[in-house]
Chain A
Amino acid sequence: MTRKQKRLAGIGSIAVVLALAVGLVLVALRDEIVFFYSPTDIIVEAKTGTGQRFRLGGLVKPGSIVKDGTTVRFVVTDTDHDLPVTYVGILPDLFREGQGVVAEGRLGADNQFAADTVLAKHDETYMPKEVADTLKDKGVWKGEQ
């Protein structure tokens, strides 16, 4: 191979790897990202169908937590609308009534949100940013700032 051919081969193989990576990223961005919705987004605006994975954020409605064996039921609210959630497992340590929560899972046919992950927070003064933004939009945010 001449020097020029070598260089072309080198640039060619770099281009192939980059194209592969770009392809993977595009596919992953189409299929593997998870949207964040509030109960209003789901109930009023029907932003997602059943069976699609998304994150639900809001406040845990006071008095709504019911434990039944390993299953926990609670209601996530953005004060306008409520969405019931079921979760099997151990809730994070900072999961409390009236506090912000982010749950990831799918909406069932019965309009119940089946969460497989409930996000833990590291700090009791910490509010998930998405939840804070949603609540600010609704005008019920009582935090600092």
Chain B
Amino acid sequence: MIVELGHYFLVLALALAIVQSVLPVVGARIGHAGYMRSADWTSVMSALLVAGSFAALTYAYVNSDFSVANVWQNSHSRQPLLYKYTSVWGNHEGSLLLWILILALFAALVAVFGRNLPADLRANVLGVQAWIMVAFLLFALFTSNPFERLDEPPLEGRDLNPILQDIGLAIHPPLLYVGYVGFSITFAFAAAAMICGRIDAAWARWVRPWTLLAWVFLTAGISMGSYWAYYELGWGGWWFWDPVENASFMPWLAGTALLHSALVMEKREALRIWTVLLAILTFSMSLLGTFLVRSGVLTSVHAFATDPSRGVFILAILTVFIGGSLALFAARAGTLRQGGLFAPISREGALVFNNLFLTTAMATVLIGTLYPLILEAFGGAKISVGPPFFNLTFGPLMVPLLLAVPFGPLLSWKRADLLAALSRLYFALGAAFVAVLTVLGLTAGGEVAAALGIGLAVWLMIGAFAEVITRSRAFSGGGSTLRRLAGLPGSMWGTALAHFGLGVTLLGIVAVSAFEREAIDNLTPGGSMTIADYQIELVRVGPVRGPNYVEDVVHFQVTGPSGNRFAMAPSKRVYTARTMTTTEAAIRTIGFSQLYLSVGDINADGSLVVRAWWKYQVILIWLGTLVMVAGGCVSLADRRLRVGAPRPARTRGKRELANA
């Protein structure tokens, strides 16, 4: 009964979304206030309905109702409760429902917090959001209904794919989806602005917090996914340039560019056409990612079970939304007046530089991801494009961008002095040189690339705080430095933190790529191997019975360089429902580095293959992204940028002066 109710709610939500996709837009057109206001309650109502539908599916999962096909395929009665919850989005149908839920929640958020948006803009934003809702609700109801029943309910479910039974998966998709789908609001704002013909600084001010919100979640989601792959897949890699990773990375690159260009538009009314195009592009990348993951065109670790009708449906959605928005853009772009002249060396110039490199880098990732598909579709050879391609294309494009990052915030608007900016970066430059020389010295000149990479990371990390230090006149004496530091706007701290985090991530990437150590050996109990000053002894192998699996735990005794000893226990698990084996790696964090142990099958003679990695400074990769997320949050908390709280137009001029 509850399952049917969930299904019914979904259909009701579709009906409401159809109303919402027409009425407010017509209202804005003819100036009917009532029609426009209707979007407020329809979007809140459909959010509630989809939430109810999601709750119904969750109910079916938690109670192991195997008469529902989706539950039967992806759950098991003996699964721990947490994984019964996460199973809901551990499959195509359920995760699509989560997608729609987030879509609906964002619309409701705009309806609730967007009270001070102009009525016609708000009506159009909610109308456009409803178009996306209609498309995805139709997709869910016609090709991917999670509430389908089985005629003869089986006694036991087929269990969630074991590698998805993990706390990392519990949080990774929801975070990622909030980011991915969050860009739909930016898209809706862009389309609505073009419909209303209102694309100005105020528009950029309204859009930026939403972009930032989506960006924060996307960053956290990608980072979480990367850490999950790192420890769960058992081969110690943290980024594979897998098409599905790229599918989430492309919207991230576009979204990062959008954050920066919206800044120019907000402060200087320049780059209007470009910013609107970028808003469309970012969500197009989200849609493309959805298509790649769910259509089955990819050979990927993430690909869901395939069904050709789904692929065609998403391709249709993709074409309609990207094509439609670009057509609207083409029709309206001509009417936009470019404002705000600026010299090449200026804050605007730096942000254009940022956008140029980010979007170009995104284009190379796009080519690398789609090229094999296109080649095969036209009957060409079967190829795969892997890390070497991206290292050669994406890597070099990042270098000038990263070198330029510390300059950006130090340049003034309109016209700036590069040497003056550099003079504030002498300290960062010096530190970077010291870092390069230190690494060269320690490795006896053997790791030039790593030394330069670490120098670049140090340049980013220290340079990130140059603006904060300059503004607070730190180190220039006076007891009020701290007070001045605290008084700086949150967005300035946000920028500093985000850029600092980027440096930290880069440091981790360079360090682990250059100084990672790997050892592999076939050990029997009592045998030992050495990696990076750590002696690893295999003590014994013991069987353990878990709730829905049995495992062979391999106990190791590790002796560190200072004689410290600790135990590590990787294992081989067999999940009984699917008789599927997984490798559970053992990880010991030492400082920012990790010792990573993974084991193979136990051979007939009791020996087993042990693979050990010394992952030097690897944690910094994810710590850096957390700092970026923190930067985004600090910036969001800035009163002037709070979601839905644009500052009133009357006082804008005054505050602009105060900030200058």
Interface contact B389-A28, CB-CB below 8 Å: yes
Interface residues of B in 251-305 (CB under 8 A from A): 298-299, 301-303, 305
Contacts of A36 in B (CB 8 A): 381-384
The residue on B at minimum CB distance from A34 is B384
Binds A, one of B5-13, B109-117, B392-400, B476-484: B392-400
Q: Which of A77-85, A106-114, A119-127 contacts B (4 or more CB under 8 A)?
A: A119-127
A55 proximal to B (CB < 8 A): yes
Contact B385 A70, beta carbon cutoff 8 Å: no
Q: How far apart are the CA atoms of A32 and B241 in the complex, in Å?
A: 13
A124 touches B580 (CB 8 A): yes
Instruction: Determine if A35 is an interface residue (Cβ-Cβ < 8 Å).
Output: yes
A32 to B371 alpha-carbon distance, docked (Å):
13
Contact B356 A14 (CB under 8 A): yes
- Cβ–Cβ contact B360 & A21, under 8 A: yes
Query: Is residue A94 contacting chain B, with contact meaning CB distance below 8 A?
Result: yes
* B600 sits at the interface (CB 8 A): yes
Taking the closest CB of chain A, its distance from the CB of B397, in whole angstroms, is: 6
Q: A28-B393, A70-B609, A94-B581 are in contact. Are A128 and B299 (CB under 8 A)?
A: yes
Number of interface residues, chain B, beta carbon within 8 A: 53
Task: Note all chain A residues with C-beta closer than 8 A to B298.
Answer: 129
Contacts of B572 in A (CB 8 A): 93
Q: Does B389 lie within 8 Å of A129, measured CB to CB? A: no
Verify if A29 is at the interface (C-beta below 8 Å from B): yes
**Residues of B contacting A25 in the complex (Cβ-Cβ under 8 angstroms):** 364, 367-368, 393
CA distance A67 to B361 in the complex (A): 43
In chain B between 599 and 624, which residues have their CB closer than 8 angstroms to a CB of chain A?
599-601, 603, 609, 611
- The proximity string for B residues 356-384 relative to A, scoring 1 for CB distances below 8 Å and 0 otherwise, is 11001101100110011000000001111
B contact residues around A91 at 8 Å (CB): 600-601
Chain A residues with CB under 8 Å of B386's CB are 32, 34, 104
Give residues 63-110 of A contacting B (CB, 8 Å): 67, 69-70, 88-91, 93-94, 102, 104
C-alpha gap A94/B162 in the complex (Å): 12
The answer to whether B118 has its CB under 8 Å from any CB of chain A is no
Q: Are B302 and A122 in contact (CB under 8 A)?
A: yes
**Which parts of B483-536 form the interface with A (CB within 8 Å)?**
520-522
- CB A57 to nearest CB in B, in angstroms, measures 9
Q: How far is the CA of A29 from the CA of B599 in the complex (A)?
A: 36
Residue A51 interfacial (CB < 8 Å): no
Pick the contact of A33: B384, B521, B578, B598 (CB < 8 A): B384
Contact for A130 among B163, B299, B303, CB less than 8 A: B299
| A17 at interface, CB cutoff 8 A | yes
Q: How far is the CB of A49 from chain B (nearest CB, A)?
A: 16
CA distance A102 to B300 in the complex (A): 12
Q: Separation in Å of the A76 CB from the closest CB of chain B? A: 15
Min Cβ gap B416→A in Å is: 15
Closest to A126 in B: B303
CB distance B582 to A33 under 8 Å?
no
A142 within 8 A of B: no
- Shortest distance between the CB of A23 and any CB in chain B (Å): 9
* Of B305, B364, B600, the contact of A21 (CB 8 Å cutoff): B364
Q: Does B396 contact A9, Cβ atoms closer than 8 Å?
A: no
Checking A6, A18, A55, A122 against B301 with a beta-carbon cut-off of 8 angstroms, the contacting residue is: A122
Q: Are B393 and A89 in contact (CB under 8 A)?
A: no
Do B161 and A17 have beta carbons less than 8 Å apart? no
**A27 and B599 in contact (CB under 8 A), knowing A35-B381, A90-B609?**
no
Give a binary string over A1-39; 1 marks a CB under 8 Å from any B CB, 0 the rest.
001001001100110011011001101110111111000
A125 to chain B, nearest CB (A): 8
Are B235 and A33 in contact, with the CB atoms below 8 A? Answer: no
14 residue pairs A–B, Cβ–Cβ below 8 Å? A20-B396, A21-B397, A25-B367, A28-B389, A32-B392, A33-B372, A34-B383, A34-B385, A90-B600, A93-B572, A93-B583, A102-B299, A104-B386, A130-B382
Interface residues of B (CB under 8 A from A): 161, 163, 233-235, 298-299, 301-303, 305, 341, 343-344, 352, 356-357, 360-361, 363-364, 367-368, 371-372, 381-386, 388-389, 392-393, 396-397, 520-522, 572, 578, 580-583, 598-601, 603, 609, 611
The 8 A-B residue pairs whose C-beta atoms are closest, nearest first, are A36-B382, A90-B600, A32-B388, A69-B522, A28-B392, A93-B581, A32-B389, A24-B393
Q: Using A6-B343, A21-B363, A21-B397 as known contacts, list a sample of 13 further A-B pairs with CB atoms less than 8 Å apart, ordered by residue number in A.
A: A13-B344, A24-B364, A27-B392, A28-B392, A29-B371, A29-B385, A36-B381, A70-B522, A90-B600, A122-B161, A124-B580, A125-B305, A130-B382
